[in-house]
Amino acid sequence: MTSDMTILNLLLEASLPVQIVMILLALASLVSWSIIFTKRRLIRRTTDASDDFEASFWSGGDLNTLYNSTTRDRAGNVGMASIFESGFREFNRAMQAGGIHADKVVEECRRAMRVAQMREVDRVEQSLATLATIGSTSPYVGLFGTVWGIMTAFMNLGNVQTATLAVVAPPIAEALIATAMGLFAAIPAVIAYNRYADKVVRLEYRYDGFTEEFSSILQRHARAKTGG
């Protein structure tokens, strides 16, 4: 090791295991930030779309008109709009097939909406597990680099007669860099995971509430049409 203690030089002259650890942590950090920004856009888009649809739904307009508008705009049909489309499509199918019992019709609609809801929740939950994995494992990967660096420092001490700071400083410094990189990768991932997981749960609660409210509306429509 040279006496140049710049971070770049420490990275270049670090032992191979520590370099591998640093590369893995750098890649983990890049993946984490990519997921964070992608998930942020997705959840914001889904929340805004659900807000817009909910405003249209409770405005008192005709359900058939709203259904036709959602089927025309399939590209933007996410979140609550997708659940509504699945439920109302099943309702129209049951009515056209001659549904004679309102409760049975509504149960089929509720089942269709639950499937759509699971699909929507799965869409916004994707990659959250990756964030959780990066957040939980990165400190331990960095700790491995730390242990290896300290072990190298002690091995260097055993090969010299006089212990000096120049002998032990570089491997200890690279060990501390590995620790810092592990924390740098883990902390944003943990914060983002907790934040986005909470947002997903809130969306799921909104979907549950809408499904129940819309089921009640469909039940009234079904009873009016079937008389049962």
Length in residues, the chain: 228
Q: Which of 95, 108, 126, 127 is nearest to 226 (CA)?
A: 95
Q: Would you say residue 175 has pLDDT above 60?
A: yes
Q: How far apart are alpha carbons 71 and 228 in whole angstroms?
A: 29
Place of tokens 């997981």: 197
Residue 206 confidence (pLDDT) above 70: yes
The helix or strand, by DSSP H or E, that contains position 146, with its residue range, turns out to be: helix 128-158
Domain ranges of the chain: 7-226
| Span 55-84, average pLDDT | 83
Q: Is residue 38 over pLDDT 70?
A: yes
pLDDT > 70 fraction of the chain, expressed in percent and rounded: 85
Q: Among 96-105, 175-184, 196-205, whose mean pLDDT is lowest?
A: 96-105
Q: What is the mean pLDDT of residues 158-184?
A: 75
**At residue 99, does pLDDT exceed 60?**
no
pLDDT at position 2: 44
Give yes or no for a contact between 218 and 113, defined as CB atoms under 8 angstroms apart.
Answer: no
141-151: average pLDDT: 86
Residue with tokens 């072990």: 151
Q: How far apart are the first and last CA of the chain?
A: 86
Q: How confident is the model at residue 85 (pLDDT cuts 50, 70, 90)?
A: very high
- Give the pLDDT mean for 90-99: 81
The pLDDT value given to residue 1: 43
Q: What is the pLDDT of residues 103-138, one digit of tens each?
A: 888 899 999 999 999 999 999 999 999 999 999 999
pLDDT surpasses 80 at 29: yes
Question: Span 5-17, mean pLDDT?
Answer: 68
How much of the chain exceeds pLDDT 90, in percent? 45
